[in-house]
Amino acid sequence: MNSRERVIKAINHQEADRVPYDLSGTTVTGICKGAFLNAMKERGLSTDYEKEVDPISQIVTPVEETLVALKSDTRRLGARRVINYEQIRTKEGSVWSLVDHWDCLWKLDETKDLYYNQFTHPLEQYDSITEGLKHWSVPKWSNYVEQMRADIAEQAPALGDYCGIADRNCAGLTEMSLRIRGYEKWYMDIFMDPAGVEQLLEDVTQHKLDYWASLFDWIEEQGLQDKIQVVSECDDLGTQKSTLISPDDLRKMVIPRFKRIWEYTKKRMPHIKNFMHTCGAVRPILPDLIEAGLDIYNPVQFTAHDMDLKGLKRDFGKDLVFWGGGIDTQSTLCKGTPEEVSDEVKRILDIMAPGGGFVFAPVHNVQDDVSAANFWAMWDTLMEYGKY
């Protein structure tokens, strides 16, 4: 059974030969540079990686030979999150900085930062979003299509017999809005400028639809449809305890727009499954997301409120594939012992693997505080204990 067949089984709620494993198939199931280098060195694997897809979170895509050795069943196809990263970044002293195509300024200080942090928001200076949108607008995706085509042409050969994931080009609908307007201002705009909030969400939705159209055009031109099984979107809607904005506001302003995106992806590529990453305690909106066309849910942050895995599998296991939730990344993977890591992976496989519908990935990217020993404890246990 090859990787593609394995994942196809899992996402159709069937048991394959083993639980599929996703490393670097999306920008939320990856590994940060430091953790990657440590882990690969320990087992003598190549520490080389591809052009960075998402330098902001400092994750890396291992080179093909390493992905093969790690038995990752997925390969990503999609625009780079920071277009022309190598050309647009500059360095002064220890500080790297760049202005991305959304006019956001990001900086990373090598002496202390593990990630790029955002310093400016293009609509922050205005009294309202409505006012700001008279002076600034969401970038047109058409300006970047050529660059995307060059980038994905480099990625495509790796699709091989793996599950191809068509991955998003930017953060989620609310996430992009927050980046553009500034965090606290946007939250308050929900009350003070609801029309502006809707307009900005709409503009970002359009940007995303244009992206998906351009990506699918290329895939069709190349005749690669059969190599793509999953289309991946995201929007971090939850905190440790609840959703960030109310479920009602999400139902009104956000979920219908995802529905439009998912209808479009299915129209263009009827055989694909829609994947979404949304952090935190989001149980109340899972039925709405399913209704809107969601097939695969990530990252399954089971340490958040009311997100216990057994309950999720019981209540949503028929409708949703769980992609992630393989091990906790807020405590066990980074602070536990290798034995604790291994025990937790076993415990979770016992809950999630039966009947398929589960693809293994930790809750979110492996951060730099994860030791090589813990990474391998996770991996060894999965490969050994994840067999059906």
Residue 301 contacts ligand B12 per CB under 6 A: yes
Out of another protein, ligand B12, none, which partner does residue 279 contact, by CB within 5 to 8 A per kind?
ligand B12
Q: Which stretch binds ligand B12 (CB under 6 A): 77-85, 147-155, 201-209, 297-305?
A: 297-305
Residue 120 contacts ligand B12 per CB under 6 A: no
> Cα 64 vs. chain centroid, distance in angstroms?
20
Please give the Cα distance from 78 to 151 (Å, whole number). 8
Rg (CA), the chain: 20
Q: Which stretch binds ligand B12 (CB under 6 A): 148-156, 162-170, 298-306, 373-381?
A: 298-306
Of residues 165-184, which lie at the interface with ligand B12 (CB under 6 A)?
183
Please give the Cα distance from 39 to 204 (Å, whole number). 37
Residue 279 contacts ligand B12 per CB under 6 A: yes
Please give the Cα distance from 98 to 106 (Å, whole number). 5
Binding residues for another protein, rule: CB under 8 A, are 112-114, 117-118, 183-184, 187-188, 190-191, 239-246, 249, 305, 329-331, 334-335, 367-369
Residue (113 or 210) nearer to ligand B12, CB: 113
Amino acid letter for position 93: G
Residue (46 or 331) nearer to another protein, CB: 331
Residue (115 or 385) nearer to ligand B12, CB: 115
Q: How far is the CB of 9 from ligand B12 (least distance, A)?
A: 27
Residue whose tokens read 């002064």? 92
Residue (162 or 186) nearer to another protein, CB: 186
Pull the structure tokens for residue 275.
């994947």
In degrees and rounded to multiples of 5, residue 229 shows phi and psi of -110, -20
Residue (32 or 269) nearer to ligand B12, CB: 32
Residue whose tokens read 């200080």? 109
Provide the 8-state DSSP code for 254.
I
Amino acid letter for position 180: I
Cis omega (within 30 of 0) on the bond before 299? yes
Q: How far is the CB of 244 from another protein (least distance, A)?
A: 5
Pull the structure tokens for residue 92.
């002064």
Residue (3 or 174) nearer to ligand B12, CB: 174
26, 57, 130, 381: which one binds ligand B12 (CB under 6 A): 57
Residue (6 or 76) nearer to ligand B12, CB: 76
Residue (280 or 356) nearer to ligand B12, CB: 280
Apex 72 CA angle, 155 and 60, nearest 5: 55
Cβ(135)–Cβ(126) under 8 Å?
Answer: yes
In degrees and rounded to multiples of 5, residue 355 shows phi and psi of 80, 5
Residue 371 contacts ligand B12 per CB under 6 A: no
Amino acid letter for position 14: Q
Provide the 8-state DSSP code for 277.
E
Of residues 194-233, which lie at the interface with ligand B12 (CB under 6 A)?
none
Amino acid letter for position 1: M
Q: How far is the CB of 121 from ligand B12 (least distance, A)?
A: 10
> At a CB cut-off of 8 Å and minimum separation 6, what does 345 contact?
326, 327, 377, 378, 381, 382, 385
Provide the 8-state DSSP code for 227.
G
Out of ligand B12, another protein, none, which partner does residue 301 contact, by CB within 5 to 8 A per kind?
ligand B12
Out of another protein, ligand B12, none, which partner does residue 265 contact, by CB within 5 to 8 A per kind?
none
Residue 364 contacts ligand B12 per CB under 6 A: yes
25, 132, 196, 280: which one binds ligand B12 (CB under 6 A): 280
Checking DSSP bridges between strand 321-323 and strand 358-359, what pairing results, if any? parallel
Q: Is 306 left (phi over 0), alpha (psi -120 to 50) or beta?
A: left
Out of another protein, ligand B12, none, which partner does residue 365 contact, by CB within 5 to 8 A per kind?
ligand B12
Residue 329 contacts ligand B12 per CB under 6 A: yes
Please give the Cα distance from 330 to 347 (Å, whole number). 17
Out of another protein, ligand B12, none, which partner does residue 236 contact, by CB within 5 to 8 A per kind?
ligand B12
Residue (319 or 340) nearer to another protein, CB: 340
Q: How many CB atoms lie within 10 A of CB 37?
A: 16
Q: Footprint of ligand B12 on this chain (CB under 6 A)?
A: 57, 115, 117, 183, 236, 239-240, 279-280, 299, 301, 304, 329-330, 363-365, 367
